[in-house]
């Protein structure tokens, strides 16, 4: 708990309701700050995931466009290779060069796509961890709230005990006053009795 149970139940302890509320507010402030940081990280990660998804989609569309743009050239080159007809002409060299360039660019785009996909998976893992941390903090908040309610109950019990002690102390003072008064009356009676006895003795003699 926020306070020691025995300290709360001890009516002579100097812990006050203000102290308890101050500690409660301090706990809540700490948890609120932690929750704010977690929420900021979650927002940042979700934004990063959205960017990565867009990057992945852009890489895919660009790769697809590259392949479609060179589809005719690739078909022509495939036909030439199958028929083993590679005349040494600038057109054929250009075709081979364009095909190689297309393949290399496609490999680059594929590597970018794989990198974006890997980053996206990593971001998703980070986001899952952040959600787990937020759930843990929410559980901690619930525990603190339960502890607060218990301490408030304990404080009420302490107030009740303190009130009863005050009542008993008052009765005790009244009882002592009554005893003192009775002792005084008894002493007075003893004195009167001694006086009567002494007077009786004198009259006999």
Residue 6 in this model has a pLDDT that exceeds 50 = no
Q: How many CB atoms lie within 10 A of CB 52?
A: 20
Cα gap 154→162, rounded to integer Å? 12
For the entire predicted model, the pTM comes to: 0.36
CA 139 to chain centre: 7
User: Which pair of structure tokens corresponds to residue 205?
Assistant: 């003699």
Question: Collapsing DSSP states into helix, strand and coil, what is residue 66?
Answer: helix
CA 56 to chain centre: 34
At 37 the pLDDT is 78
Give per-residue pLDDT as tens, 145-185: 777 777 777 767 666 777 777 777 787 788 788 888 888 88
Smallest CA-to-CA distance from 103 within 76, 75, 70 is with: 70
Give per-residue pLDDT as tens, 50-98: 777 777 777 677 766 766 666 666 666 656 555 555 455 546 666 667 6
Domains (ranges, CATH) in the chain? Answer: 14-174 (1.10.287)
Cα gap 140→144, rounded to integer Å? 6
Cα gap 187→181, rounded to integer Å? 10
């Amino acid at each position: 708990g926020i306070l020691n149970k025995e300290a709360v139940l001890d009516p002579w302890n100097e812990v006050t309701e203000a102290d308890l509320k101050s500690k409660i507010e301090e706990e809540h402030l700490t948890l609120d700050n932690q929750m704010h940081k977690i929420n900021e990280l979650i927002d940042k990660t979700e934004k990063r995931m959205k960017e990565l998804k867009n990057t992945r989609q852009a890489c895919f569309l660009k790769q697809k466009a590259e392949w479609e743009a060179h589809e005719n050239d690739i078909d022509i080159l495939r036909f030439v290779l199958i028929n083993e007809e590679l005349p040494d002409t600038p057109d054929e060299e250009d075709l081979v060069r364009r095909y190689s360039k297309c393949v290399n660019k496609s490999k680059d785009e594929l590597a970018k796509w794989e990198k974006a996909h890997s980053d996206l998976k990593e971001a998703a893992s980070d986001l899952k961890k952040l959600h787990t941390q937020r759930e843990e903090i929410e559980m901690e908040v619930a525990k603190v709230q339960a502890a607060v309610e218990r301490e408030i109950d304990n404080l009420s019990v302490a107030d009740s005990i303190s009130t009863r002690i005050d009542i008993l102390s008052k009765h005790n003072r009244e009882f002592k006053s009554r005893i003192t008064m009775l002792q005084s009356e008894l002493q007075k009676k003893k004195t009167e009795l001694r006086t009567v006895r002494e007077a009786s003795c004198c009259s006999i003699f």
